[in-house]
Amino acid sequence: MELHVLNHPLVEHKLTVLRDKNTPSSTFRELVSELVMLEAYEATRDLSVVAAPIETPVAPMTGKKLAEPRPIIVPVLRAGLGMLDGMTRLLPTAEVGFLGMKRDEEHPTQQITYANRLPDDLTGRQCFLIDPMLATGGTLVAATHYLAERGAKDVTAINIIAAPEGIKYVEEHIDPSIDFKVVVCAVDEKLNDKCYIVPGLGDAGDRLYGVID
């Protein structure tokens, strides 16, 4: 597993405002989108490209274009939807799939899959899993293996914040045959007894979309 933690003053500034409990949902959503765009720049550094002969207004040349098959972005519902706009702004030609997973509150590292809108065959596809929080690591491992069962061997997870316990869990449980990377804005202090990241930013889904009972 390759871990990349962004180190940039703009990221630190935006993340501080994001964490503030007084930041309204409208600002929270915009900041999530902006942070994801900054993360996506790093996360897409190794995208496959092919030669592309073109003519500029001055002369012919050979540039580069993204290779086929197109990459696929997979938000983990529901909080991952808040990151989708930022990803598609930077990678507009990517396809988008959806994966609904939620943590089993009685067994925090186990997941319940309740929705799937993905191609049956992901062989040769570069996949980007987006979910704001890497807390226990259970969702990320389950989602990555879900993609691997469909043939994916190149998976990059983009999370805004992570807990050390979650990173350790992923390192110990991810299938080593997968070319797996994680990009985060920050690694926080710890998980609390309810498996929430400390200091964290609260429930990302609730702060994006409001509380749903």
The vertex-98 CA angle with 33 and 25, nearest 5°, equals 35
Does residue 80 have a known ligand-binding role?
no
Does residue 178 have a known ligand-binding role?
no
- Nearest CA among 110, 131, 138, 147 for reference residue 182: 131
Does residue 61 have a known ligand-binding role?
no
Query: Angle, nearest 10°, between helix axes 25-43 and 9-19?
Result: 150
Does residue 97 have a known ligand-binding role?
no
Does residue 124 have a known ligand-binding role?
no
Count, in order, helices (H) and strands (E) of the chain. 6, 13
Q: How far is CA 13 from the centre of its chain?
A: 20
Q: Do residues 158 and 107 touch, judged by C-beta distance below 8 A?
A: no
Does residue 202 have a known ligand-binding role?
yes
Does residue 37 have a known ligand-binding role?
no
Does residue 139 have a known ligand-binding role?
yes
Does residue 135 have a known ligand-binding role?
yes
Q: Do residues 19 and 73 touch, judged by C-beta distance below 8 A?
A: no
Does residue 134 have a known ligand-binding role?
yes
Does residue 151 have a known ligand-binding role?
no
Does residue 59 have a known ligand-binding role?
no
Does residue 86 have a known ligand-binding role?
no
Does residue 78 have a known ligand-binding role?
yes
How far is the first Cα of the chain from the last one, in angstroms, to the nearest whole number? 36
Does residue 44 have a known ligand-binding role?
no
- DSSP calls for 168-194: HHHHHHS-TTSEEEEEEEEE-SEE-TT
Residue ranges of the annotated binding site are 78, 103, 131-139, 197, 202-204
Residue ranges of the annotated binding site for uracil are 197, 202-204
Residue ranges of the annotated binding site for 5-phospho-alpha-D-ribose 1-diphosphate are 78, 103, 131-139, 203
